[in-house]
Structure 1
Amino acid sequence: MTKKALITGINYYGKSYQLSGCLNDAANVRDFLVGEHGFEDNPDNVVVMTDADENKDTLLYPTRDNMINAMRWLVSDNQPGDSVWLSYSGHGGQTTDADGNNPAAEEDTICPVNFEEAGQIDSATLHQILVDPLHLEARLTILFDCCHSGSACALPYVYRPDEEGNISVTFNDFVQTLQEGAQLVVAAQQLAHAPMLLSLDTLTQAKSFMHGVTGFAKELAPTVSS
């Protein structure tokens, strides 16, 4: 079993929206993973990206490109039983949903250090990079310490535990589940009309579709029974 972690903290030094604690967050998370959860203290297993001065002009500086490449490293070559960790401390935002897949017409985002020039990283992109390539028997843990963090990876369901950890399903959750099911029906129709010789892109779509079907089935059963 391999354990890999990507830890990012961005303070946005010199900006009007500068933060003060994100680098400390990154250091604390690293100490937590290495000291208490068996992550190896080496750059092959634990990568820490911050906008500290010493990281400028290196791959550890959290620009949009560097962050995306690091995320791809995090989930690359994962095997059954692997555990991968992603944490991000910085600004979160929202952009217009260009694809029209989000009922709120907005995509939740995280903000690289150069987001004003290079753009934010939206939830659809995060899902495609982090979730789609993941082996079904590997485990991905994500900690987003930012605004709009709850749906930042466009996952198919949301659990809202109470103080004791119990999960209750609301009517809004049920409606959201049905909406996701309708989207899966559309995806199934599109795949049904795909050529018999599936392209690599179509196979990727099929894999993503099956992930969605599995999640939808798991979500619908407890929702209906409640």
Structure 2
Amino acid sequence: MTKGLEDLTVPDNAGADPAAAPAEPAAVSAEPAVAEPKPSPAPARAPVKRALLIGCNYVGSRVQLAGCKNDTLAMAEVVAGFWQGAGETHWLLDPPNAEADPRPTKANILAELAWLTGDLVAGDQLFLYYSGHGKQVADTSGDEADGKDEALVPLDYVTAGVLTDDELGTALLAKVPAGARLTIIIDACHSGTVLDLPHRYYCNSITKDGKKPRKPYNFADWTSDTRESTEAALVAHYAQSGSIVFISSSQDEQTSASTIMAVDNKYAYRGAFTTSLITSLKENNFNIKNKYLLKEANCRLWIIGMAQRALLSSTTPALLDEPFVI
């Protein structure tokens, strides 16, 4: 058995003539030896920006929708406006932009959520957008007061099933460390608490004069009626997590509408909530607090005759007064 060279001690006079006179001992310096400086640890990686955009029209099925892909393409422009070319964006679309592109199946959604939340560090910024069907199913874990879980509906829901709020909590919310930020927008029926966060804000603003709302939206015409609901059991659960803001298109018992709407003089099927939200962002030059964005989106929904009301949830109350960011 051989030993590695690192285990073999070689004396200083190895290979010298044994008959030769010994060398004079080297002078001993009075100065202490100076230790070699240790190399600095590798710096932590720079923060990253990641976006996952999901739009599902369920083409060819009995539950086909018309505006979800349009909504997702519109939201991509918002992401580009915030990030100015930085970051990385992944897509799951039906119909896809190209035949070989991945579609929003349950397995693909879970795989992309794993990419979105993989190896996160403080400073990372994440964004998730979903436009598609949502539904309520029987609660199997006993954590819902109404006995129902909220769920997203993948393209292959018939064979693969839905994505419940419990699954999304494990695959998404639980992965965000302190110092990281995640913003989520979901345009789907029954989506109010499809992501269970401790602080929820309901905004049912009405016109100050009590009359039918008028176009265009004017901030001064509306009251601000925001109510908070806190899930005490979730407060401690998210005490050490990152900053998470989630805006849903409707409350748990409500449906979310899509209709033919004009954006930049182009008419197409679009989600009423997504269009109202993006319009509010644009008219405020993308600089608006979360609480005012919630208010304006709901006011615009009322102006166009929609009964649904958006809901904002967050990990801490302080996020309500912070600017909306992606």
Give the structure-1-normalised TM-score.
0.72
Q: In the TM superposition, what is the alpha-carbon distance from 1:72 to its structure 2 partner?
A: 1.0
| Correspondence for 1:19 among 65, 71, 91 | 65
Gaps of 5+ in 1: 185-208, 220-226
Q: For 2:160 and 2:146, how far apart are their aligned partners in 1?
A: 24
> Which of 72, 78, 88 pairs up with 1:45?
88
Report the counterpart of residue 257 of structure 2 in structure 1.
none
1:211 paired residue among 223, 230, 238 = 238
Structure 2 CA distance for partners of 1:106 and 1:45, relative to 1, 3 Å: same
Residue 191 of structure 1: aligned partner: none
SS at match of 1:159: strand
Q: Distance in 2 between matches of 1:20 and 1:210?
A: 38
* Cα distance in 2 between the residues matched to 1:39 and 1:134: 24
Question: CA separation of 1:218/1:37 partners in 2, compared to 1, >3 Å: closer, same or farther?
Answer: closer
CA–CA separation in structure 1 for the residues paired with 2:131 and 2:73: 11
Partners of 1:62 and 1:125 in 2: CA distance: 16
The structural deviation recorded for 1:48 is 1.3
- Aligned 8 A contact 1:3 1:39 in 2: no
Match among 23, 29, 35 for residue 75 of structure 2 = 29
Counterpart-to-counterpart distance in 1, 2:134 and 2:76: 21
Pairing 1:69–2:111 present: yes
1:167 aligns with 2:213: no
Question: Where do 1:3-152 residues align within 5 Å?
Answer: 3-34=49-80, 36-38=81-83, 40=85, 45-53=88-96, 55=98, 58=101, 60-152=102-194
How far apart are the structure 1 equivalents of 2:116 and 2:125?
Answer: 10
Letter in 2 for 1:167: T
Cα 1:39–1:92 change in 2 (3 A) is farther
Retained in 2: the 8 A contact 1:39–1:45? no
For 1:3 and 1:218, locate their aligned partners in 2 and report how far apart those are by CA, in whole Å: 22
Q: How many residues align?
A: 183
After superposition, where does 1:184-223 map in structure 2 within 5 Å?
A: 210-211=237-238
Instruction: State the 1:162 CA deviation.
Output: 5.2
Q: What is the CA distance between 1:2 and its match in structure 2?
A: 1.4
Deviations 1:18-43 (A, max 9, x none): 10011111111111111x101637xx
* SS of equivalent to 2:77: helix
Structure 2 unpaired stretches of 5+: 1-46, 206-222, 244-314, 318-326
How far is 1:167 from its partner? 3.5
Alpha-carbon contact 2:52-2:128 (below 8 Å) kept = yes
Structure with the larger helix share = 1
Q: Aligned equivalents of 1:218 and 1:144: distance in 2?
A: 19
The structure with more strand, counted as a fraction of residues: 2
Mapped to 2, the partners of 1:157 and 1:211 lie a distance apart of 10
CA displacement at 1:168 relative to structure 2: 3.1
Contact 2:55–2:94 (8 Å) recurs in 1:
yes
Task: Sort the Cα spacing of 1:69 and 1:20 in 2 relative to 1 into closer, same or farther, 3 A.
Answer: same
| Deviation sequence 1:144-189 (CA, Å, 0-9, x none) | 00011110112223112454666334xxx36xx35x37xx8xxxxx
Cα 1:148–1:23, aligned 2, differ >3 Å: closer, same or farther?
same
Q: Secondary structure at the match of 1:76?
A: coil
Counterparts of 1:38 and 1:213, CA distance in 2: 27
Question: Per the alignment, do residues 132 and 20 of structure 1 end up closer, same or farther by CA in structure 2, a change over 3 Å counting?
Answer: same
Alignment CA distance shift 1:212-1:106 (3 Å): farther
Percent sequence identity over aligned pairs: 27
Q: Shift in Å at residue 57 of structure 1?
A: 5.6
- TM-score, reference length from structure 2: 0.51
